[in-house]
Amino acid sequence: MKEISCKLLVIGAGPGGYVCAIRAGQLGVDTVIVETGKPGGTCLNVGCIPSKALIHAAEEFEKVAHLAGGKDPLGIKVAAPTLDLAQTVAWKDGIVSRLNSGVAGLLKKAKVKTVQGWATFRDGKTVEVETEIGTQVIRAETVVIATGSAPVELPFLPFGGPVISSTEALALAEVPKKLAVVGGGYIGLELGMAFARMGAKVAIVEALPRVLAQYDAELTRPVLKRLGELGVEVMTGAKAKGLSTKGDALLVETVDGKSTKIAADKILVTVGRKPLTEGWGLEQIDLDRAGKFIRIDDQCRTSMRGIYAIGDVTGEPMLAHRAMAQGEMVGEIVAGHKRSWDKRAIPAICFTDPELVTAGLSPEDAKALAGEVKIGQFPFAANGRAMTKQGEDGFVRVVARADNHLVLGIQAVGQGVSELATAFGLALEMGTRLEDIAGTIHAHPTQGEGFQEAALKALGHALHV
Q: Starting from the edge strand earliest in sequence, which strands make up the sheet with 266-269, in order?
A: 163-164, 266-269, 178-182, 201-206, 233-236
Instruction: Specify the DSSP class assigned to residue 80.
Output: P
Spatial neighbors of 259 by CB under 8 A, at least 6 apart, are 241, 251, 252, 253
Give yes or no for a contact between 266 and 179, defined as CB atoms under 8 angstroms apart. Answer: yes
Q: What are the phi and psi torsion angles at 111 (to 5°)?
A: 65, 35
Collapsed DSSP state (helix, strand, coil) of residue 258: coil
Alpha-carbon distance of 6 to 33, in angstroms, equals 10
The dihedral sign for the CA sequence 34, 38, 39, 40:
negative
Q: Coil, strand or helix: which one is 440?
A: coil
Task: Say which of 321, 337, 442, 444 is annotated catalytic.
Answer: 444
How far apart CA 276 and CA 80 sit, in angstroms, is: 45
**66 tagged catalytic:** no
Beta bridge partners of 187: none
CA distance linking residue 415 with residue 356, whole number of Å = 9
238 φ/ψ sector (left φ>0, alpha ψ -120 to 50, else beta): beta
Percent helix, strand, coil in the chain, to 5, is: 35, 25, 40
Strands of 355-360's sheet in order across: 348-350, 355-360, 407-414, 395-401, 373-379
DSSP letter, residue 298: T
Q: Judging by beta carbons within 10 Å of its beta carbon (0-12, 13-18, 19+), is residue 64 exposed, middle or buried?
A: middle
Cβ atoms 427, 439 nearer than 8 A: no
DSSP 312-371: GGG-SS--HHHHHHHHHHHHHHHTT-------S---EEE-SSSEEEEEE--HHHHHHHHS
Task: Provide the CA 388 distance to its chain's centre, in angstroms.
Answer: 29
Active site amino acids: 444
